[in-house]
C-alpha cells in the first residue's frame, strides 16, 4: 500500500466511518427510547371506558374509583360493582353496558389491561406520594382528557430519581415537600 493511500484511510475514512457509526447508535438510542420506556402504550380495554367522559365531563373524583390511593401501595382499578352504582340505571340498554351488567350478574371481573407498571424488584407506593399532595397528573399526565388511558411519562429509575433529586423544582406548588430518597434500599427492598 502506498503511503498516501494509508494516510487518506487514517485521516479521512476512519474518522468518517466512526462518526457515522456513533451517529447511528445515538439516533437509534433516542428514537427507540419512548418505546423502551413504554411511553404511548395504550392497550385496548374489554369495555371502552372513557376517563374523559367520567372524570373530565362528569367530574367524578378519581378516588371514587381508585379508592385506595391514600392508604395503600396500589391505586387499584374499581370492581364492576362500582360501575353498577350508576349503570344499573344509566345507559342500561347500550351494548357495552349490557356486557358490564352480565359481568356483574355472573360475578365475573373485567380483565382490564394494565397500562403502567414498574418491575417487581422496585418498590413504589402511591399513598406516600398522594398524601404529600403530589397530583396524579404529575406522573400520569392529564387522564381527565383521555378517551383511552395512555402512558405519558416513563417510570424508569432515572425518572423516579429525577423528581426525587429536584423535588423542590419539580413541585414548586408544594412549598414544604421533602426531597425523595436516593438510597438504593428505599426502592429496592
Q: Which is nearer to ligand HEC, 31 or 184 (CB)?
A: 184
Count CA within 13 A, CB hemisphere, residue 125: 14
Question: Could you say whether residue 23 binds ligand HEC (CB under 6 A)?
Answer: no
Rg of the chain taking only CA atoms, in angstroms: 24
Question: Could you say whether residue 108 binds ligand HEC (CB under 6 A)?
Answer: no
Given 17, 28, 71, 76, the residue binding ligand HEC (CB under 6 A): 76
Distance CA 20, CA 119 (A): 35
Distance CA 174, CA 31 (A): 34
Question: Could you say whether residue 186 binds ligand HEC (CB under 6 A)?
Answer: yes
CB of 129 to ligand HEC, least distance (A): 4
Given 94, 102, 105, 145, the residue binding ligand HEC (CB under 6 A): 94
Phi-psi region of 38 (alpha: psi -120 to 50; beta: other; left: phi over 0): left
Residue pair 144/55 in contact by the 8 Å Cβ criterion: yes
Nearest to 143 by CA among 34, 22, 51, 35: 51
Q: Which of residues 33-72 bind ligand HEC (CB under 6 A)?
A: 45, 47-49, 51, 53-55, 60, 62, 64-66, 69
Q: Which of residues 119-178 bind ligand HEC (CB under 6 A)?
A: 119, 122-126, 128-130, 132, 134, 136, 138-140, 143-144, 149, 155-157, 160-161, 163-164, 167, 170, 177-178
Amino acid at each position: 500500500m502506498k503511503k498516501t493511500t494509508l494516510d487518506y484511510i487514517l485521516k479521512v475514512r476512519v474518522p468518517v466511518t466512526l462518526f457515522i457509526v456513533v451517529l447511528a447508535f445515538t439516533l437509534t438510542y433516542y428514537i427507540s427510547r419512548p418505546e423502551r420506556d413504554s411511553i404511548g402504550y395504550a392497550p385496548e380495554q374489554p369495555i371502552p371506558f372513557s376517563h374523559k367522559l367520567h372524570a373530565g365531563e362528569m367530574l367524578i373524583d378519581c378516588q371514587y374509583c381508585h379508592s385506595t390511593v391514600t392508604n395503600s401501595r396500589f391505586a387499584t382499578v374499581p370492581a364492576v360493582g362500582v360501575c353498577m352504582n350508576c349503570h344499573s340505571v344509566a345507559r342500561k340498554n347500550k351494548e357495552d353496558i349490557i356486557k358490564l351488567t352480565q359481568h356483574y350478574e355472573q360475578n365475573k371481573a373485567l380483565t382490564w389491561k394494565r397500562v403502567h407498571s414498574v418491575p417487581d424488584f422496585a418498590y413504589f407506593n402511591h399513598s406516600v406520594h398522594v398524601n404529600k399532595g403530589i397530583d396524579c397528573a404529575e406522573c400520569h399526565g392529564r387522564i381527565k382528557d383521555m378517551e383511552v388511558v395512555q402512558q405519558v411519562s416513563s417510570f424508569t429509575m432515572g425518572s423516579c430519581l429525577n423528581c426525587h433529586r429536584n423535588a423542590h423544582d419539580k413541585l414548586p406548588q408544594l412549598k414544604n415537600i421533602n426531597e425523595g430518597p436516593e438510597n438504593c434500599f428505599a426502592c429496592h427492598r
